[in-house]
Amino acid sequence: MDTSQAQSILERVIVGLANGRLWTVEGRPVWAGPGVSKPCIVCQLKIHDNQLQYDVLGPAGRSVSVHDKCYQVWRTEAYRLRMKRKSPRAR
């Protein structure tokens, strides 16, 4: 994945966290395995059987599928957002 694709994923994650499509993934169950052609919640592309797929349990108890790279960006950005909210300066 090149830099422009990674930036696009980051932008999608930021928007998803802001509009509620994505959520903080800390402490939620996550399963991993080969892709089963479901669309990724972040980039909307199918996750093929030669790719790693994470299934992330959402707040409503429904699981969503996500590519490995998209999941890593999602977790990192969600963590950054949590730390920003916990910071005394953010209040």
pLDDT tens digit sequence for 69-80:
999 999 999 999
Confidence band (pLDDT; 50, 70, 90) for 87? Answer: confident
pLDDT of residue 89: 65
Which of 75, 35, 84 lies closest to 55, judged by CA? Answer: 35
CB 21 within 8 A of CB 42: no
DSSP E strands, the chain: 30-34, 52-57, 63-67
pLDDT of residue 16: 95
pLDDT tens digit sequence for 18-71:
999 999 887 778 999 999 999 999 999 999 999 999 999 988 888 999 999 999
Give dist(CA 89, CA 39) in Å, integer. 38
